[in-house]
Amino acid sequence: MTTQPSNIPGPTGNGTEPAQPDRRRFLGTATLVGLSGAGLSAGLVACGKETAETAGAAAEQLSHEVAPGQLDEYYGMYSGGHSGEVRIVGVPSGREIKRIPVFNPDPMSGWGQTNESKQILGTRPDGRVRYTTGDTHHVHGSYSDGTYDGKYFWVNDKIHSRLARIRGDTMECDAITELPNVQGFHGVFPDKRDPVDPALNRTSRVFCGSEFHIPQPNDGSNMEDASAYYALFTCVDSETMRVRWQCRVDGNMDLVATSFDGKLAASNQYNTEGGTVFAQMMSAERDACVFFNIERIEQAVRDGRFTKIKGSDVPVVDGTRAASADPATALTCYVPVPKNPHGVNASPDGLYFICAGKLSPTVTVIELSRVLDWFGGKLADPRDAVVAEPEIGLGPLHTAFDGRGNAYTTLFLDSQVVKWNIAAAIKAFGGDQTATVVLDRVDVHYQPGHTNASMSETREADGKWLVSGNKFSKDRYLPVGPLHPENEQLIDISGEKMRLAHEAPVWSEPHDFIIVRRDKVRTRQIYDLAEFPDATTDMTGSKIVRDGRRVTVHLTSVAPSFGLTEIRVRQGDEVTLILTNLDKIEDLTHGLAIPKYDINFIVHPQQTRSVTFTADLPGVYWYYCTHFCHALHLEMRGRLFVERA
């Protein structure tokens, strides 16, 4: 891996750096910037010429390793992509610590099988989980005083337009909300507003963008008329997880950012053309970053200035361009940005949102005070909110920050991370030809998508570590068949130059992530029995209760035994098995499995979980503990007798 020094030639356009002939020769054409299939293939082939042996030769040995028995400094909260899960990775070690099932059934934990998880996931009339697929993209944490507080983490499901909440104390999903009137739910970001005051009914919010525009209502009555299609921006209450309101926009939305003062949320937009096929989505030279005036929207809802879509009870306000033509009453502001942007990120100082061009070699710096000036009638043209637009390379996607005024943007086509200075970019945009915008480049392998830095979008951005999430690994690891792993690369950004410190394969296909300082997360190791109304409080309370053909089994566990060694039911009975783990020792989790009945779940210390099944197979079935708990773990079992009807 070689690090490009700051004086290596690069893109021109603002006097920052001349061209890199070796890397940009094949990328400098407009056709490749169009991301056609041929262009993408050419980029991959060219990057593949840099072999792992050559690239790894110059990698510096940095102190990223965490010794056995020592803890990482940060939690990396990663989306799992179409696994439907969230993963916790230690940073800087790269050690995977936990996988949290969210939208995906999980046979180890029983997620999607226990009655409690089914209630969160939602079920069909026959009791089966409604959806068994998910596509997580973006993970973000709750804020207090402008920084992470560790209370909650949220993640989206792009496929089924669901928002999930994970408790920070247990690292388990406790709520899922399906957004109405929305498809392609991609971007999500929580409220950073301070303070949040429940006494004033001022709870926090989570903002959600929708990527696909659809006919409204989407009931099959008006499918062919594309003019009836539109997308909605959604606000969800962070505590109740109920949808508070939605805002109609022109075009669609991608990712989401929020301001530290709670006044603005924004989403970058591609396909402002409203196209339904590829060619129609590519005609505009500029798309937009749409800003939402939160106070005005919520006032409009309070005043009753909203409509409702058939089949939904959620208030919908009008944030289209036509409805927001007058800045004095506008709910939204559309700031033009170059083309097909992917990613909008908030700088730690609270001053700027940065959009990455994707099909333009530029990033766009938007000053939030100027957006507010437009809403206040002090700025004539929304484009005047743009204070910088430096050329940094081909295929810019996502931007992270170090808290020292520098930004780090991934370049998908260049296979690089570029470090650039925001203040210098603003000076160059204003005509200062001496301003050095781009400070450093580092090659990554290959085609980086998401990136984040330690505490990046908080007021405590510390500029220690950055991770580049690369979509292709190719020659980096042992071949394992057609599907290669993806490649996460750890970069030290504490000095003037970026330095590659470590890389590791990851299971496909993670998307975005945040890097949270470990003192911000306060987990618990033992539950409280009082949280569970159906808990059995001691081993002698284990019992079987029959009500006609419904049987409830109250079962306890204390290593290495269950409270009942025999359970007798009749063929055809509906059986609800409620298991309480009475152990009070940290990390002493029990499992319970029943052969042939497709039952397997776990229960943590002082926790209660339940499953319901029909005893339709007569015979003897050993139920046993699946989670190692004791030297006599193998002996921890009992018999389920299912008597013939």
Question: What is the Cα–Cα distance from 119 to 610, expressed in whole angstroms?
Answer: 11
Q: CB-side exposure of 267: number of CA atoms within 13 Å?
A: 33
Question: Is 152 within the bounds of a domain?
Answer: no
Q: Which of 171, 132, 164, 131 is nearest to 150 (CA)?
A: 171
pTM recorded for the entire structure: 0.90
Domain with residue 639: its CATH number is 2.60.40.420
Q: CB atoms < 10 A from the CB of 477, how many? A: 14
User: What is the identity of the amino acid at 9?
Assistant: P
Tokens of 498: 């970026």
Q: Which pLDDT value is given to residue 7?
A: 34
State the residue range of the domain holding 547.
529-643
Question: What is the Cα–Cα distance from 335 to 205, expressed in whole angstroms?
Answer: 23
* Residue at a domain's end among 333, 367, 391: 391
Question: Is 251 within the bounds of a domain?
Answer: yes
> Per-residue pLDDT tens for 230-247?
999 999 999 999 999 999
Q: Which pLDDT value is given to residue 8?
A: 34
User: What is the identity of the amino acid at 31?
Assistant: T
Question: What is the Cα–Cα distance from 485 to 504, expressed in whole angstroms?
Answer: 9
Q: Which pLDDT value is given to residue 284?
A: 83
Question: Is 247 within the bounds of a domain?
Answer: yes
User: What is the identity of the amino acid at 344?
Assistant: V
* Residue at a domain's end among 367, 391, 415: 391
Question: Is 279 within the bounds of a domain?
Answer: yes
Q: CB-side exposure of 437: number of CA atoms within 13 Å?
A: 30
Q: CB atoms < 10 A from the CB of 345, how many? A: 24
Question: Is 425 within the bounds of a domain?
Answer: no
The partner residues of 421 in beta bridges, in order of sequence, read 406
Domain with residue 374: its CATH number is 2.130.10.10
Q: CB atoms < 10 A from the CB of 539, how many? A: 16
First to last CA, the chain: 69
Question: Is 132 within the bounds of a domain?
Answer: no
Q: Which pLDDT value is given to residue 179?
A: 98
The secondary element (H helix, E strand) that includes residue 258 is strand 256-258
Q: Report how many domains make up the chain.
A: 2
10-residue mean pLDDT series, the chain (645 residues)? 37 42 38 38 38 42 80 97 96 96 95 97 94 96 94 97 98 98 96 75 87 93 89 97 97 95 95 84 88 97 97 97 97 95 95 94 97 97 98 96 98 97 98 97 95 97 97 91 93 96 90 97 96 96 97 98 98 98 96 97 98 98 96 96 96
* Residue at a domain's end among 391, 419, 435: 391
Residues 6+ apart with CB under 8 A from 407: 347, 354, 363, 399, 400, 401, 419, 420, 421, 422
Question: Is 611 within the bounds of a domain?
Answer: yes
Question: Is 226 within the bounds of a domain?
Answer: yes
Distances from the Cα of 620 to the Cα of 20, 80, 441, 644, angstroms: 72, 39, 65, 11
3-state secondary structure of 213: coil
Question: What is the Cα–Cα distance from 458 to 308, expressed in whole angstroms?
Answer: 36
Q: Which pLDDT value is given to residue 198?
A: 67
Q: Which pLDDT value is given to residue 73?
A: 97
Question: What is the Cα–Cα distance from 252 to 267, expressed in whole angstroms?
Answer: 9
The partner residues of 619 in beta bridges, in order of sequence, read 642
